[in-house]
Amino acid sequence: MGRLATIGIDQTDVKILQALRSNARLSYRQVAEKCGISAATAMTRIKRLEETGVIQGYTLRIDYEKLGYDLTVITELTITKGEDRFVKLEKEISNYPGVCLLYNVTGSADGLVVAKFKNRRELSKFTKKLLLIDYVERTNTHIVLSTMREDLNML
């Protein structure tokens, strides 16, 4: 709880976040019931969590395999040196179809891209597109064989 306290989050806020994570469509009254607080308290706290940026939005969890996205890949990127290169890379590829996550990382690679594709042809097209960017030196793509857990929510 130490890190949460430094940003003004207490156990009630954590309970609210957990309730909304399980179903972001809950009403203030439903959140209050799940958390053992009043609806007014739930509303006030949720609004504060939104205003402070802890809650950045509400979204859906989608089973992409049911939509035909059978390939999940993790691609390591090696880019030429230069401070602004990763910023340019982010602007260039974050809107490519299939891109889910883009990280600037430490280690042997400079970046990691997590993406989903319907077939090998889409993956091939994506990889070739990456390699056409003049400051991308190399890619190393890993195809996910099975998903053990796919959830960015930690609470």
**pTM (predicted TM-score):** 0.77
Confidence label for 146 from pLDDT (cuts 50, 70 and 90): very high
Q: What percent of the chain has pLDDT over 90?
A: 72
Q: Is 34 exposed, middle or buried (0-12, 13-18, 19+ CB in 10 A)?
A: middle
CA atoms within 13 A on the CB side of 18: 10
Q: What is the pLDDT of residues 38-90, one digit of tens each?
A: 999 999 999 999 999 999 999 888 889 999 999 999 999 999 877 688 888 88
- In order of their start, the domains of the chain are 2-51 (1.10.10.10), 64-143 (3.30.70.920)
